[in-house]
Amino acid sequence: MKIDDALQQFLEYIEIEKGRSLKTVRNYRQYLSRYIDFSGVKNTGDINAENIRQFRLNLNRQSGTKTRGQSSGTMKKRTQNYYLIAIRMFLKYLMKQGHNVYSPDNIELAKTEDRHIDHLDINELKRMLEVAQKHPRNLAIMHMLFSTGLRVSELCSLNRDLDLSKEEMTIRGKGDKLRIVFLSPNARASVLEYLKTRTDMDEALFVQEGPQAVKREENNETLRLTPRSVERLVKQIAIEAGISKKVTPHTIRHSFATDLLRNGADIRSVQMMLGHSNITTTQIYTHITDKQLREVHKKFHNKN
């Protein structure tokens, strides 16, 4: 089968049958197109161990983010694996369709180091909330992020018609999946206070402010905050709070998960609240709580 036809059918399959988001479909197209262009395969039967090996070598020699102590940066192993996962999924689909292709089981992923998870301790979070108190919108954003564990894209997609009389709300997350998140009293109160300050008619819950917002409103453009805007906002709040490490909305999401686990929540519940489809994604947080367990063991058990 011609590779271009197979690729198009596969992308339509993951969009329609698998229910993947358009962003995911675009990513798979990018990963697979890069492999196809590099290897020069014309038909599905041309995919083989050698051109996959050469492609892996090419990825491994690509420049990437330079880290401290390195003379030059290379593409991260985790990023390389995205390409390999896409190729494996493509081959599995082709096998399912009855095509005689290279076995996806032969493609091993690169070994990756454990992810380092940055999170805020309670004092750092309090300092950020104190800074955010100067501005109703910023305080509401901070409380919403920590109360719910929302992804920044999920936060930005919220509309102002939220039912704040309840302690929970249903959101549409990654992959168009619905899940319930919970609002703390502080989160609900701060959002209500923020909404009292709004004079615009935009449907978005969190909007731009200042001269730029006035101009956008005059042009009938949406005022909705973008994920990048919220990232800049959180970064600035952290700087003003005297926090030297890099802080992003995802750092606050990490802090939400870590706080739940440290206070006794089971990992399955945390998985559901974060909206992870696979529990292995949630398990990246366990090394943080493992340290706490070691301290408990040393204090209460290691007496001899």
Q: What is the CATH number of the domain that holds 142?
A: 1.10.443.10
Is residue 300 pLDDT above 70, yes or no?
no
Domain count, the chain: 2
Question: What does the pLDDT read at residue 66?
Answer: 52
The string of pLDDT tens digits covering residues 140-154 is 999 999 999 999 999
pLDDT of 67 higher than 80: no
Do 157 and 239 share a structural domain? yes
Q: Is residue 111 part of a domain?
A: no
Domain's final residue, options 106, 132, 147: 106
Higher pLDDT residue, 264 or 46?
Answer: 46
CB 118 within 8 A of CB 234: no
Question: 259 and 143 in one domain?
Answer: yes
- Whether residues 179 and 288 share a domain: the answer is yes
pLDDT at 219: 74
35 is catalytic: no
* Within-domain flag for 278: yes
Together in a domain, 99 and 19: yes
Least confident residue range of 140-144, 189-193, 216-220, 236-240: 216-220
Mean pLDDT of 280-286: 76
Annotated catalytic residue 172: no
Is there a single domain that holds both residue 86 and residue 144? no
Residue 71 has pLDDT above 50, yes or no: no
pLDDT-based confidence at residue 98 (cuts at 50, 70, 90): very high
pLDDT at 293: 57
Q: Are residues 60 and 194 in the same domain?
A: no
* Mean pLDDT to the nearest integer, 234-238: 97
Per-residue pLDDT band at 19 (split at 50, 70, 90) = confident
> Is 102 a residue whose pLDDT tops 70?
yes
* pLDDT classification of 213: cutoffs 50, 70, 90: confident
Full residue range of the structural domain in which residue 271 is found? 122-297
Catalytic residue among 119, 151, 224, 254: 151
Has 276 been annotated as catalytic? yes
Asked if 24 and 7 touch (Cβ cutoff 8 Å), the reply is no
Q: Same structural domain for residues 165 and 273?
A: yes
Q: Is the pLDDT of residue 295 over 80?
A: no
Provide the total of helices (H) and of strands (E) in the chain, helices listed first: 14, 2
Q: Is 174 among the catalytic positions?
A: yes
Judgement on whether residues 192 and 49 belong to the same structural domain of the protein:
no
The model's pTM is 0.69
Average pLDDT over residues 206-215: 82
Catalytic residue among 174, 179, 216, 262: 174
Answer yes or no: do 158 and 292 share one domain. Answer: yes
Do 72 and 153 fall within a single domain? no
In this structure, is residue 222 part of a structural domain?
Answer: yes
Give the list of residues 6+ apart from residue 73 with CB closer than 8 angstroms, or none: 63, 64, 65, 66, 67
Residues 86 and 192 in one domain: no
CATH number at residue 56: 1.10.150.130
CB 77 within 8 A of CB 112: yes
Q: Which of 72, 106, 140 is the last residue of a domain?
A: 106
**Same-domain check for residues 132 and 97:** no
Is position 262 annotated as part of the catalytic site? no
Closest by alpha carbon to 131, among 282, 233, 58?
233
